[in-house]
């Protein structure tokens, strides 16, 4: 089993409560992640990132008050060591490069199966030297 | 032939071409109600109009002495416009003016200007609504079902279906509007579900 201090602390940012819940359960079931906070818009995301300094931020783009592209640079400013991966319903071809220009380390389209979501997150974190734990469950 | 007449001809051609161009741009902007929304188009139209007036004034000044009007000024102008530099430049300007006029098919893009921008903005707003109400809902439903939460997934699918219907209905326009649907309006290019 992954030791507590090896868990990937994660902040989930999405304006849809149902999606936040499902993503949280998916991550926690894997055993390598610890969801330390949630946010429903860009403003909350910046505050949570400032307080929690998560290793991973899963960031939606289309949100009220402040969207993901607006929040991205500020999230990285208050939590420079965080890896921000965009998790969005928009096409990766269309928004992926734009998100990258604002500091996102990767882009995952919503609608992927839970196993693929985990695989993509771990793969992208591995590419950014995010020190991914070897395995989750004992 | 006196060389000032070359400048006279060139200025006449420039003035006429510029008046036509200015009219095409400004009348198009006026017809589409964009006088306030397309300042670039309006400014471009007025540049051509004022330049047309200037070149027309040159041409008129050169011919006024024929009728005994402003003789001294007109003759001085003829001497000035007899300079080969002047009529050569005016000649090139006239050719460019005629060439620009032949590109009239591209004027609509200049007129469309901000209207095109507004259309894009409207489509982006619609895209966001479809994303927020349909894509998000389907993504949530799919994830729920894949996690074994059948009931929650099916409920979300039902909600998303209703929201999709409402969006489509709104996009179709209100009942009784000028664009009421009729026979042939619902014809598709290909069977539904075939596009990837």
Instruction: Quote the pLDDT of residue B170.
Output: 78
Residues B64 and B143 in one domain: no
Residues B14 and B98 in one domain: yes
CA distance A58 to A54: 10
> Is the CB of residue A16 less than 8 Å away from at least one CB of chain B?
yes
Asked if A19's CB is within 8 angstroms of B136's CB, the reply is yes
Asked if B135's CB is within 8 angstroms of A22's CB, the reply is no
Asked if A110's CB is within 8 angstroms of B136's CB, the reply is yes
Tokens of B90: 């005016």
Location of structure tokens 């991205």: A72
Residues B80 and B38 in one domain: yes
* pLDDT digit string, tens, across residues B11-63: 999 999 999 989 888 888 887 777 777 788 889 899 999 999 999 999 999 99
Instruction: Quote the pLDDT of residue B102.
Output: 82
Which domain, by its residues, includes B123? 114-172
* CATH code of the domain occupying A4-127: 3.40.50.2300
* Rounded CA Rg of chain B: 31
ipTM of the shown complex = 0.71
Residue whose C-alpha is closest to residue B2's, from B81, B74, B72, B60: B81
Residue ending a domain, choose from B102, B128, B143: B102
The minimum CA-CA distance between B168 and chain A, rounded to whole Å, is: 19
Task: Report H helices in A58-113.
Answer: 68-78, 92-101
Mean pLDDT score of chain A:
89
Instruction: Quote the pLDDT of residue B112.
Output: 60
| B21-43 core/surface letters (b: 16 or more CB in 10 A; e: else) | bbebbbebbeebebeeebeebbe
Q: What is the DSSP letter of A40?
A: S
Residues B74 and B20 in one domain: yes
- Tally of domains within chain B: 2
* pLDDT digit string, tens, across residues A87-129: 998 888 888 998 999 999 999 999 899 999 999 999 998 876 5
Residues B94 and B8 in one domain: yes
């Amino acid at each position: 089993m992954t030791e507590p201090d090896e868990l990937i602390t994660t902040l989930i940012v999405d304006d849809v409560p149902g999606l936040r819940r499902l993503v949280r359960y998916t991550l926690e079931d894997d055993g390598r992640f610890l969801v330390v906070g949630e946010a429903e818009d860009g403003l909350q995301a910046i505050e949570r990132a400032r307080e929690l300094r998560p290793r991973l931020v899963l960031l939606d783009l289309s949100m009220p008050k402040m969207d993901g592209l607006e929040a991205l640079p500020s999230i990285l400013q208050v939590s420079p060591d965080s890896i921000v991966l965009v998790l969005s319903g928009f096409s990766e071809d269309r928004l992926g490069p734009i998100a990258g220009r604002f500091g996102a380390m990767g882009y995952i389209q919503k609608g992927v199966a839970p196993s693929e979501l985990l695989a993509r997150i771990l793969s992208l974190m591995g590419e950014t030297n995010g020190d991914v734990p070897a395995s989750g469950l004992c | 032939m006196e060389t000032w007449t070359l400048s006279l001809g060139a200025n006449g051609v420039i003035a006429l071409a510029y008046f036509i161009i200015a009219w095409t741009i400004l009348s198009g902007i006026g017809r589409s109600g964009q006088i306030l929304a397309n300042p670039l188009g309006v400014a471009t139209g007025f540049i051509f109009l004022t330049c047309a007036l200037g070149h027309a004034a040159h041409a008129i000044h050169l011919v006024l002495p024929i009728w005994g009007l402003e003789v001294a000024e007109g003759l001085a102008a003829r001497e000035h416009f007899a300079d080969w530099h002047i009529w050569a430049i005016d000649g090139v300007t006239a050719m460019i003016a005629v060439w620009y006029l032949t590109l009239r098919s591209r004027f609509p893009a200049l007129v469309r200007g901000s209207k095109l921008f507004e259309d894009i903005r409207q489509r982006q707003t619609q895209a966001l609504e479809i994303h927020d109400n349909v894509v998000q809902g389907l993504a949530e439903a799919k994830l729920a079902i894949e996690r074994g939460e059948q009931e929650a997934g099916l409920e979300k699918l039902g909600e998303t279906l209703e929201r999709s219907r409402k969006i489509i209905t709104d996009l179709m326009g209100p009942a009784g509007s000028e664009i009421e649907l009729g026979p042939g309006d619902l014809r598709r290019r290909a069977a539904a579900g075939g596009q990837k």
